[in-house]
Amino acid sequence: MALGLAAKKAIVKEVNEVASKALSVAVAEYRGMEVADMTVLRRQAREQGVYLKVIRNTLARRAFVDTQFEDMDPALKGPLVYGFSLDAPGSAARLFKDFSKDNKHLKVTALSIGNGLMGADKLEAVASLPTRDEALAKLLATFKAPVSKFVRTINEVPTKFVRVLAAIKDAK
């Protein structure tokens, strides 16, 4: 069914707003996927905080104007599903990577994190980016490591002294 001009403008506006807030976008070709599989993909996207949208590529080009994803034009060919990561930069890539393991019809064609178009070969690297919570946990562990090593070192001095005293006592 053909969309009217007002509906197309509404779609472009909606996607533009999401793209301007998104941390990254992943684009995948879904040719041959069944409706049930797409429903499962949409459900997983909602659970992981990924905005998923199937729109015409011409509308996507217009929606990407004045956003950090303007350079996506060369990759917008074929029937595509767009996944926008809103919480963590690797969310959409991780979603598509995990889903494509079980569904051979979903093929990632391009990724973009900020300015810079990346091919599908970078999917693994982008999908392995830590979430915000994981990154904070690693940062805190890095801050905590020197302090805990210092405390262990300070604690070893009296421990060794007590061991020496116990060895002298046992020797006598």
pTM over 0.85: no
Considering the chain, what percentage of its residues have pLDDT values greater than 70?
Answer: 92
DSSP state of 86: S
pLDDT in tens, 81-124: 999 988 888 888 888 888 888 888 888 888 888 767 777 666 66
Whole-Å CA distances, 110 to 4, 27, 34, 129, 147? 29, 5, 22, 16, 43
Query: What pLDDT, on the 0 to 100 scale, is given for residue 123?
Result: 66
The pLDDT of residue 140 is above 90: no
pLDDT, tens digit (0-9, with 9 covering 90-100), for 15-55: 889 888 888 888 998 888 889 999 998 999 888 888 998 98
